[in-house]
Structure 1
Amino acid sequence: MTEHPDDLLPFLARRRDALAFDLAYRAPFASWQHELRSAWQASLPFGDAPLVMEAKEQSVSGSLEFRCYRFRYATGDAGEAALLLPRGASEPLPAVVLLHDHGGSFDAGWRKMIADGVAPAAFYEGRHLGNGLAEAGYAVLCIDALGWGSRFYGGYERQQAVAYHALQLGWSLAGIVAVDDLQSIAWLSQQPEIDAGRIAVMGFSFGGARAWQAAALCQKVKAAVSLSWIGCRKDMLSHANPLLRGHSANYFLHPAMALRADYPDLAGLAADRPLFIRAGDQDRHMPRETVERAIAQLSTIAGDAGGRLDAAIFAGAHHCPRSVQDEAFAFLARYL
């Protein structure tokens, strides 16, 4: 009998099963957070360099003001970013950095999240989350991640080549995406319309991983909403999981951290602040059992850190139903 080609070879499966993370969570929280975060930050390219805003277009639609920017990141790559603001605000606004999904489509990045007539809200039951958040009173920033929209570089056909180019040069796709997100948060915190003490991150799927990642790496983030991307590495290194699919695996792989901390440990760096986690019980990417194990680890960390963990599993597959969106909006209203 021939094994499925995506299964791990036996010797790799044995190594997976023997994984022991030297920077897995241990109390006290503060010293562990500093050690793990410092190690992770040290592995990223250009961690402290600012981005440059090169251009801006502005328009008004109803109760919202829309701005489209061109950001140049410290790596030298550039792409579009969209900022949506409630019109007429007299005081600095709370803000949400909204991180778009993967979705298997690359023609749109921020346009998946902010309605402009181009991309449907395919995973969100017709609601563009950016518009919903802005109408609720938040400033909303969404950038095109490397590979999407204005930063498209060939889709599935070229993702692996670009990923391996980056690895050969000491970087990773995951690291580049993380730094771009962090630079965007830093830029947003400096804008006069924004209350820098009230910035949250939010995302679904790929965006969900980016959300807890940004909160883990940046204390400027005061609350995080992560939807449909949490689990434990050992469980997820199995047949048909995205971590074994070359077209997307590299967006979740930080090579320097692979043997040092599990995903819930990395997410747990944000557990000293309000953290909202949801995943579907029929999600083929994140099986219920691994989500439950990850939530249990996050609960332990949040308990020691004095954080506010709101974690649950909903009935459904890999999508973002309105009921979960509404819970997330209520969470942000409570803590932001």
Structure 2
Amino acid sequence: MNPGTKDTAPRPSAVGGYEDWPSYLRSHPRHVAETPTGQELADALGVPSAPANSGAGIELAAPDSAVLQSVAFESEETHDGVTTSRVSWQLGFGPRTRAWFLRPAGASGPLPGVLALHCHAGIKSGGAERLVDAQLVNPHSANRGLHTSALQRKLYGGRPFATWLASRGFAVLAHDAFSWGSRRFDLGTPPWRTAAVVEGRKALWREAGVVPSEADLYDAAAAAHEDTVAKAAGLLGTSFAGMVAHDDLAALRVLAGLPGVDAGRLGSIGFSGGGGRSLILAALSPLVRSFVVTCMMTTYRSLVPSYLDAHSWLFQTPGLSRLGDYPELAARSTADRFLVQYALADELFPADGMRDADALLGAQHASGRYTGSFWPGGHAFTTDMQDEAAGFLLDSLSPAHRVFARQNGHS
């Protein structure tokens, strides 16, 4: 439908499933960070505060408390030495958040906790499920499992990363972020601009003899709809990245209160868009003691003019550059240590931008706080990179390292 055409049909919602989003923002002021630099970032992104002790949202307990009463444990299964629980919570607006909580089977004593943050990938029909063993994602949908396995082969070396990470001795939480998976928008009746893009995509599929799946149709709509979501966020005083950070902050506080998790030893890790989320989360919350950013680091200058179109609204928030260059955001974190992994043939970042970012990070941080590693290959989180990242987190979140960090002035 042409947006200029008059029609008697009601105009479709541009934020289907999130009609309560504006009222939520009115009742939840800006996130209050614990450091001035964290507050500057929260204000630049427009991060709203997460719900606390509200009947409509999560009852976010103190980090050392027992099970959060309003987080629902829906099922549990042990497979290949990992116990996986399906959990969910309600943030007070939009759909209920689905997540997976994974830990070594039979583990005793508190474990270091890691928030595993899924990538963007242009695939919003699913979220954190791409990090979980495909057999456990949706046992009633063979197609969904195949879709998950294909994404894991393409981007994660064929490995269900969160499941594998739990087998290495971590308590891992992987959740769907704002606009992905369970938190996706309802695009059954898409707004006009999104509908026009989808119709064009359908025509190309027909010409190529392709029969799209339900997930294909949704992802085509969601790719175009992200522009609308970013516009809505800006109009409401927040940003697309700020809303994702809101969901991540809530998930981090859930992880801190889950049974068997040592809230004093929390980390975050993500690949691509998930890596950007890991950096932002660490800069916003002192609960993150160590973090990993994989294939998501460069300088702003290197993106102009040829690499802008490679990235989404998750990475390109208006006004964020006023706080300094992208690598400089790491200095806003109170984490003890962090690792940045670069792919030398990354299609989304020029090599000179990655090298410049590495030099900037190395100059800004004392020896031992920042580690940068360069890997051959393109935009993917290979199993060798995962091995390095897991080893880094295991070392930096060990009890011995936490004692060393406290003795050397870290909180």
TM-score bracket for the superposition, by shorter chain length: 0.7 to 0.9
1:333 maps to which of 386, 394, 406: 394
Counterpart residue number, 2:40: 39
Contact 1:277–1:312 under 8 Å retained in 2: yes
Contact 1:272–1:307 under 8 Å retained in 2: no
Shift of residue 215, structure 1, vs aligned partner: 1.1
Counterpart residue number, 2:351: 288
Matched, 1:164 2:231: yes
Instruction: State the TM-score, normalized to the length of structure 1.
Output: 0.83
Matched, 1:235 2:284: no
Contact 1:279–1:286 under 8 Å retained in 2: no
User: Per-residue displacement from partner, 1:182-230 (whole Å, max 9, x unpaired)?
Assistant: 1111121122311001111011000111111111111111111110000
Amino acid at match of 2:100: A
| 2: CA distance, partners of 1:271 / 1:288 | 28
Shift of residue 163, structure 1, vs aligned partner: 1.2
Amino acid at match of 1:193: G
Amino acid at match of 1:56: F
| 1: CA distance, partners of 2:319 / 2:246 | 15
- Aligned-residue identity in percent: 29
Contact 2:176–2:183 under 8 Å retained in 1: yes
User: Per-residue displacement from partner, 1:69-123 (whole Å, max 9, x unpaired)?
Assistant: 2222255553211111222222111111000011222222111001133211131
Higher strand share: 1
Instruction: State the TM-score, normalized to the length of structure 2.
Output: 0.68
- Unpaired runs of at least 5, structure 1: 1-32
Shift of residue 237, structure 1, vs aligned partner: 2.7
User: Per-residue displacement from partner, 1:117-172 (whole Å, max 9, x unpaired)?
Assistant: 32111311111111111111111101111222112334112111111111111111
Q: Which residues in structure 2 correspond to 1:251-262 (within 5 Å)?
A: 251-262=314-325
- Alignment coverage as a number of residue pairs: 298
Distance 1:74-1:279 versus aligned 2 partners, 3 A rule: farther
| 1: CA distance, partners of 2:376 / 2:248 | 30
Counterpart residue number, 1:140: 172
User: Per-residue displacement from partner, 1:275-322 (whole Å, max 9, x unpaired)?
Assistant: 11111111121111111111111112212xx65211021111111111
1:49 maps to which of 48, 51, 74: 51
What SS class does the counterpart of residue 316 from structure 1 fall into?
A: coil
Amino acid at match of 1:187: V
What SS class does the counterpart of residue 155 from structure 1 fall into?
A: helix
Contact 1:58–1:65 under 8 Å retained in 2: no
Counterpart residue number, 2:98: 80
1:64 maps to which of 82, 88, 91: 82
| 1: CA distance, partners of 2:382 / 2:364 | 28
What SS class does the counterpart of residue 363 from structure 2 fall into?
A: helix
Contact 2:131–2:160 under 8 Å retained in 1: yes
What SS class does the counterpart of residue 365 from structure 2 fall into?
A: helix
User: Per-residue displacement from partner, 1:252-281 (whole Å, max 9, x unpaired)?
Assistant: 233343322211111232375211111111
Counterpart residue number, 2:248: 181
Distance 1:124-1:205 versus aligned 2 partners, 3 A rule: same
Contact 2:288–2:335 under 8 Å retained in 1: no
Distance 1:329-1:98 versus aligned 2 partners, 3 A rule: same
Give 4+ residue runs of structure 1 displaced > 4 Å after superposition. 74-77
| 2: CA distance, partners of 1:190 / 1:271 | 20
Mean Cα displacement is larger for which, 294-303 or 269-278? 269-278
What SS class does the counterpart of residue 98 from structure 1 fall into?
A: strand
Distance 1:255-1:321 versus aligned 2 partners, 3 A rule: same
| 2: CA distance, partners of 1:265 / 1:256 | 15
| 1: CA distance, partners of 2:335 / 2:278 | 15
What SS class does the counterpart of residue 329 from structure 2 fall into?
A: helix
Counterpart residue number, 1:300: 363
| 2: CA distance, partners of 1:54 / 1:136 | 25
Mean Cα displacement is larger for which, 220-229 or 74-83? 74-83
| Structure (1 or 2) with the larger CA radius of gyration | 2
1:113 maps to which of 116, 127, 131: 131
| 1: CA distance, partners of 2:293 / 2:71 | 30
| 2: CA distance, partners of 1:73 / 1:252 | 23
